[in-house]
Amino acid sequence: MNDAILAGVAAHGLPGPHAALDITLDDDEVRALLLEATRHRLLGLVVSAVADGALRVGEASYAAIAEAHESWSAHVLRAERLLLDLVERLERAGIEYRLFKGSALAHSVYDDPAQRMFADLDILVPSHEFDRASELVVSDAHGERMLPELRPGFDEEFGKETLVKVDRVEVDLHRTFVTGPIGLSICLDELFVGGGSVTLASRQVPILAPVPLFVQVCVNAAVGDFPIRLLSLRDVAEVVRSHHPDAGEIEAVARRWRCLSVVQRAVGETWAQLELEPTELSRWAHSLQPGRFDQFLMRSYLTPARSYTRPAASLAVIPGIGPRLRYLRAIVAPQREYLAARGWTQARHARRAIERLRRR
């Protein structure tokens, strides 16, 4: 699939050269587009581009696009129905939370929520409520935890999320935005200060405040997926368009959270790959000068050996000898249940680390 066409779909409706997408695709090209659009989570934007006449396709291709979109839309509705049940359970239990990523973005920054497809539910809870929230989803909602902790207590102290499967929907209970040193550098209490909400079936569901929301989509775009997923770049552009976040506030937060280089990379990639018209914020991001330590932390995510470079960099941001030793022990010698769930032995775990680091 032509990368320019895919980028044009990702930028459809935004101000810039790609907004003028005007192309006819044959059936083979549409099949290739659907494969890549699914990988990049762009199916909703493909439908939007076809509806607007920016992409012209034949009848057979139109039917294939409609069928794929109907399947994804059914999954999204199933996920949001589960979401309403989960947030009611969390509220009854008195557990504070914030909805973020897929459903939150679809309903807060996109003109049409159907443009923003998502596969799972992402819910942020405070660290001190992390274990209780996980147990609630597993026991009360009849979920199945997909992977044990590296070691008991690791998730609450150092982890990014617990993955729980409920029916056919994956529920990601987060304590931070991303695994590794950047996730460990975020001031987690600040994520629950203020915030907005989205309306789902007449229920008000809390989401992040604009600046943490912007930093979160930047983290997801810059270091969440490797290589970058185009929908993550579209999320950055949509948050900027919808909320007009203040550059000064962003910089203050990003410096505290040691992710200034992440913000710069996310904005830079968004404007470059989607060919957007320059704005005051994109020019500000381009002019940033992140410190070497920020750059070091980000680079730990941008390597095929990131499963091991991220933990190594994490030791540089974890405060105190005791926590560092607990973290290191969990990474080097995970509990037997974790290894068994991965299908590994301790020896294979060690060999895998050595092979990845050599490749790097």
247-269 average pLDDT score: 95
The answer on pLDDT for 359 being more than 80 is: no
How many other C-beta atoms can be found within 10 angstroms of the C-beta atom of residue 139?
Answer: 9
Query: What domain count does the chain have?
Result: 1
Boundaries of domain holding 184: 3-359
User: pLDDT tens digits, residue range 158-197?
Assistant: 999 999 999 889 999 999 999 999 999 999 999 999 999 9
DSSP assignment, residue 222? I
Residue type, 320: G
* Average pLDDT value for the chain: 91
DSSP assignment, residue 188? G
The answer on pLDDT for 357 being more than 70 is: no
User: pLDDT tens digits, residue range 259-297?
Assistant: 999 999 999 999 999 999 999 999 999 999 999 999 999
**Sign of the CA dihedral 292, 302, 287, 259?**
negative
Q: For the purposes of burial, counting CB atoms within 10 Å of the CB of 157, is it exposed (0-12), middle (13-18) or buried (19 or more)?
A: middle
CATH number at residue 10: 3.30.460.40
Q: Report pTM.
A: 0.92
Q: What is the pLDDT of residue 353?
A: 60
